[in-house]
Structure 1
Amino acid sequence: MEAVNKILLVDDVDMNLVILSQIVEEMNFVPLCASSATEALEVLRNDLPQLILLDISMPDMSGVELCKLLKKDVFTRDIPVIFISAIDSYDQMAAALEAGGVDYIRKPFTPENVKMRITIHIKMRNMQKEVEDVNKKLNQVIKKQMEVSRNRDRIFAIGFENMVMKKDVVSKHILGSESGIARIITQAMQFSDVFEEDITESFIQDMEAAATMHDAGLFMMPESIMTSKELTAEERKLIERHVFWVDEYLDIVKLHNNEFNDDYYDILSQVVKYHHERYDGSGYPYGLKGKEIPLAARIMAVVDVYEALVNDRVYRKALPVEEAIKFMVDGKNTLFDPDIVDILVKIHKRFEK
Structure 2
Amino acid sequence: MSNSQPSILIVDDTPENLSVLGELLQPTYRVRAATSGRRALQIARAAPPPDLILLDVMMPEMDGYQVLAELRADPATRDIPVIFVTAMDATEDEQHGLECGAVDYITKPVRPAIVMARVHTHLELKRARDILSDQNVYLEREVARRMAENQLIQQLSIHALARLAETRDPETGNHLRRTQEYVRTLARGLQDHPRFRHFLDNKTIEALAQSAPLHDIGKVGIPDHILLKPGKLTPEEWDIMKTHAELGAKAIEQAEKDSAKPVEFLAIAKQIARHHHEKWDGSGYPDALSGEQIPIAARLMALADVFDALICKRVYKEAFPPDEARRIIVEGSGKHFDPEVVDAFVRDFDTFVAIARAYAE
Normalising to structure 2: TM-score of the pair? 0.68
* In structure 2, distance between residues paired with 1:12 and 1:289: 75
Partner of residue 265, structure 2:
267
Task: Kindly provide the amino acid, as one letter, of the partner of residue 267 in structure 1.
Answer: F
Q: Classify the secondary structure of the residue corresponding to 1:52.
A: strand
Matched pairs, number: 335
Q: Distance in 2 between matches of 1:64 and 1:93?
A: 11
Amino acid paired to 1:36: S
Q: Report the alpha carbon displacement of residue 207 of structure 1 after superposing the two structures with TM.
A: 6.2
d(CA) in 2 for partners of 1:327 and 1:83? 78
Question: Which residue pairs with 1:251 in the alignment?
Answer: 256
Distance in 2, Cα, partners of 1:92 & 1:339: 65
1:24–1:115 contact (8 Å) kept in structure 2: yes
- Identify if the C-alpha distance between structure 1 residues 299 and 19 changes in structure 2 by more than 3 Å, giving closer, same or farther: farther
Counterpart amino acid of residue 248 in structure 1? E
Task: Give, in angstroms, the shift of residue 95 of structure 1.
Answer: 5.3
CA contact (8 A) 2:226 2:237 kept: no
Distance 1:69 1:218 in 2: 67
How far is 1:149 from its partner? Answer: 3.0
User: 342, 348, 357: which one pairs with 1:352?
Assistant: 357
Could you tell which deviates more after superposition, 40-49 or 175-184? 175-184
**Structure 2 CA distance for partners of 1:46 and 1:325, relative to 1, 3 Å:** same
Structure 2 spans left out of the alignment, 5+ residues:
none
Deviation at 1:350, TM superposition (A): 4.3
1:109–1:350 CA distance, 2 compared to 1 (3 A): same
Alpha-carbon shift at residue 246 of structure 1 (Å)? 3.6
Q: Does the CA contact (< 8 Å) of 1:247 and 1:272 recur in 2?
A: yes
Task: Report the alpha carbon displacement of residue 150 of structure 1 after superposing the two structures with TM.
Answer: 3.1
State the Cα deviation string for residues 70-112 of structure 1 (Å, max 9, x = none): 3444432332222334555666655544544333334454322
With over 3 angstroms needed to count, the CA separation of the structure-2 counterparts of 1:80 and 1:151, relative to structure 1, is same
Q: Matches of 2:126 and 2:176 in 1, distance apart?
A: 52
- Aligned residue number for residue 126 of structure 2: 125
Number of the residue aligned with 2:341? 336
RMSD in angstroms over aligned alpha carbons? 4.9
What residue is the counterpart of 1:25 in the other structure?
26
CA shift for structure 1 position 181 = 5.3
Q: In 2 relative to 1, CA 162–190 (structure 1 residues): closer, same or farther, beyond 3 Å?
A: closer
**Map of 1:259-338 to 2, 5 A cutoff?**
265-274=263-272, 276=275, 293=296, 300=301, 303-312=304-313, 318-325=319-326, 334-336=339-341
Indicate the structure (1 or 2) with the bigger Cα radius of gyration: 2
Query: How far does residue 271 in structure 1 lie from its aligned partner after superposition?
Result: 3.9
Q: What per-residue deviation string (whole Å, max 9, x for no partner) do you get for residues 290-312 of structure 1?
A: 9x957xx7865664443234235
Q: Give distance in 2, aligned partners of 1:224 and 1:114.
A: 90
Deviations, residues 1-46 of structure 1 (Å, cap 9, x unaligned): 97852111223343433332233224x1122122333111211343
> Which amino acid in structure 2 is aligned with residue 40 of structure 1?
A
| Partner residue in 2 for 1:44 | 44
Aligned CA distance change for structure 1 residues 216 and 120 (closer, same or farther; 3 Å): same
Deviations 1:270-299 (A, max 9, x none): 244258589x99899898969x957xx786
SS in 1 for 2:214: coil
Question: 2:281 and 2:5 mapped to 1: Cα distance?
Answer: 65
Q: Would the alpha carbon gap of residues 327 and 37 (structure 1) be closer, same or farther in structure 2, given more than 3 Å must change?
A: farther
- Measure, in 2, the Cα distance between the counterparts of 1:347 and 1:57: 70
- Secondary structure, in 3 states, of the residue corresponding to 1:336? helix
**Contact preservation (8 Å) 1:13, 1:35:** yes
Q: Which amino acid aligns with 2:31?
A: P
Which position in structure 1 is the counterpart of 2:180?
Answer: 182
Whether 2:34 is the aligned partner of 1:34: answer yes
Instruction: State the one-letter code of the partner of 2:264.
Output: D
Distance 1:350 1:99 in 2: 57
**1:11 alignment partner in structure 2:** 12
Contact 1:311-1:319 at 8 Å conserved across structures: yes
Aligned partner letter, 2:214: M
Of 220, 241, 248, which aligns to 2:246? 241
Match of 1:155 in 2: 156
TM-score, length-scaled by structure 1: 0.69
Unaligned runs of 5+ in 1: none
CA apart distance, 1:321: 1.1
